Structure 1
Amino acid sequence: MRQNNNQGLFLSFLFIVLIYLFTRSYYSPFFLILLALLLYLAFLKEENRLFAWVIISFFGGNLILFYFDKFIEGFDINPFLRVIINQLLFIIPILSICYVIKQFNKKISLFFKKPQLNRKIQINKTYFYIMVLLISVSIVTVIITRDVKMDFHLVLSLFLFAFIHAFLQEVMWRGILLAQFMMITSETAAILFTSVAFSLNTTIFGFSPAVFLLNLSLGCAFGVLTTKYKSILPSIIAHALVLIFFFLNGFIQLPI
């Protein structure tokens, strides 16, 4: 990980601003800033130039995702299958960013590996297992107390959605972007910046302070899990369990 630099902090803030403009549909200033970023590339250090291209490829991939999603809306598809396809389209910006990083001959992520469980982080391992246990007990409790009808189709659909969503989101935000932020800022700043961007990105269909703060907190928690274990696997598991818990409590709804 490299030391902080002013260009890196500037690009990090710029990414947050672009996320805000994009999710709020302020496309005129969004494209003006993106164009200015392209012109600014020649004045950047190599690692910062890579991050600038990561920003551009992130939004380029999301624009392609958006138009593909609109195209699919024209077909008569089962609502749940429509949701799954929508989630799978997130592969587009992921591949777009990976392509850019490989063009710079850099490692795509620091966290695409098994969790590192050594003596120094045994206490963190214990905390993680406790968290998983508490969420699992909460899920079972909700099912029992609220008399949730859980047939095989519902269980399979719920776990399929939770795994796909959690996997792709964590690959993007904690697997790829967190690692790229760490290259131009500090570990703490990288967790904060990715968490803010992650939270803003979830408000694309409408801003709610409560939802923003909730996702900000979850983003920070997932970021800490990823950096502590040097792997995105714990954050994927935690993210999926949180989604299942939210569904069973009625915080999110699926057409299943």
Structure 2
Amino acid sequence: MKQNDYQGNFLSLLFIVLVYFFTRNYYSPFFWGILGLLLLLVFLKEENRLFAWVVISFFGGNFIVIYLDKFIGGMVEDPFFRVIINQILFTIPILSMCYVIKQFNKRLSFFLKKPESFSILYIVLLFIITGFLLLYFIKDGFDVFFSLFTFSLIHATVQEVIWRGILLTQMIKITSETRAILFTSLAFSVNTTLFGFSTAVLLIYLILGWIFGFLTTKYKSILPAILVHWVVLLFSSLNGWIQLPIL
């Protein structure tokens, strides 16, 4: 295995560990890990050094989101608007990572474009979504539908841009497509434990992350992953598996 492969695998695994420390509020080992990553920069090849800076900018952007969310939360009382604003704030880590990538004069993503091929999947998902929405219209009315529709769409879009659009692209450059899907899926699943650890939820999001990553690399676009992510979130909300404080 090449040195570049060793470096890429190590940085990818370090990213997963840092995500775990960050979501569990283990800030002491987290900052030691970031410090170690900064010290390693001088020994890394360019692509690996870029990924290291992307990781640092990812966490920096997330820290800004946390503090801005607390600040805005004290001024916004409506739970729906507060949750929507929180999701929009995640454009901050997106912009910070994009800025770093542009500073290296590299391409932002392989996947921020239309799918290369059309699939029956889109038609099937369209029918499923339409069925869910019709049932929900009848059951709870337009206000509930609009709230869930808006939140789910924004959340799915933002998360897929972060995890599959940017992080998966950068990880493919330093490892391989298969390993990048696995590593980003692991980090994605660990990141969902931000509000509490559950082995079952961890495994579910690990599988979902793999599916989203597979769809993204297969169709060379994050649009299928956004669509599936959106449907999963709507379905989970309709069945009460996920309680969203937006109503």
TM-score using structure 1 length:
0.90
Q: Could you say which residue in structure 2 is the equivalent of 1:158?
A: 148
Cα 1:196–1:88, aligned 2, differ >3 Å: closer, same or farther? Answer: same
The more displaced of 69-78 and 36-45 is 69-78
Letter in structure 2 aligned against 1:239: H
Q: Spell out the pairing of 1:1-256 with structure 2 (5 A cutoff).
A: 5-117=5-117, 125-126=119-120, 128-129=121-122, 132=125, 135-136=128-129, 139=132, 143=136, 148-149=139-140, 151-254=141-244, 255-256=246-247
**CA separation of 1:36 and 1:174: change in aligned 2, threshold 3 A:** same
After TM superposition, give the deviation of residue 141 of structure 1 in Å.
8.9
- Matched residue pairs, number? 245
Asked if the contact 2:76/2:82 (under 8 Å) is kept, the reply is: no
- Superimposed CA distance per residue, residues 52-111 of structure 1 (whole angstroms, 9 cap, x where no aligned partner): 001100111111111111111221421110010111111111101000000000000000
C-alpha deviation, 1:116, in angstroms = 0.3
* Amino acid paired to 2:56: I
Contact 1:135 1:245 in 2 (8 A): no
Check conservation: 2:114, 2:223, Cα contact below 8 A: yes
Q: Aligned partner of 1:33: which letter?
A: G
**CA RMSD between the two structures:** 2.0
Structure 2 distance, partners of 1:87, 1:95, is: 14
Structure 1 residues 3, 132: CA separation in 2 closer, same or farther (over 3 Å shift)?
farther
Q: Structure 2 vs 1, CA of residues 107 and 3 (structure 1 numbering), >3 Å: closer, same or farther?
A: farther
1:58 aligned partner, one-letter code:
F
CA contact (8 A) 1:142 1:249 kept: no
Partner Cα separation in structure 2 for residue 213 and residue 137 of structure 1: 28
Which consecutive unaligned segments of at least 5 residues does structure 1 have? none
Give SS of 1:202's match. helix
Q: Secondary structure at the match of 1:148?
A: helix
3-state secondary structure, aligned to 1:112: coil
Matched residue type, 1:195: S
Partner Cα separation in structure 2 for residue 48 and residue 33 of structure 1: 16
Structure 2 unaligned spans of 5+: none
Does the Cα contact within 8 Å between 2:54 and 2:101 map onto a contact in 1?
A: yes
CA-CA distance at 1:3 after TM superposition:
10
Using the aligned pairs only, state the percent identity.
63
The answer to which structure has the higher helix fraction is 2
The residue matched to 1:106 in structure 2 has which SS? coil
- Deviations 1:195-233, CA, capped at 9 Å, x for gaps: 111111111110001111111111110111100100011
Asked if the contact 2:193–2:202 (Cα under 8 Å) also holds between the matched residues in 1, the reply is yes
Aligned residues of 2:136 and 2:145 also touching (Cα < 8 A): no
- CA shift, 1:136, in A, is 3.3
CA contact under 8 A between 2:4 and 2:45: conserved in structure 1? no
Distance 1:22 1:76 in 2: 26
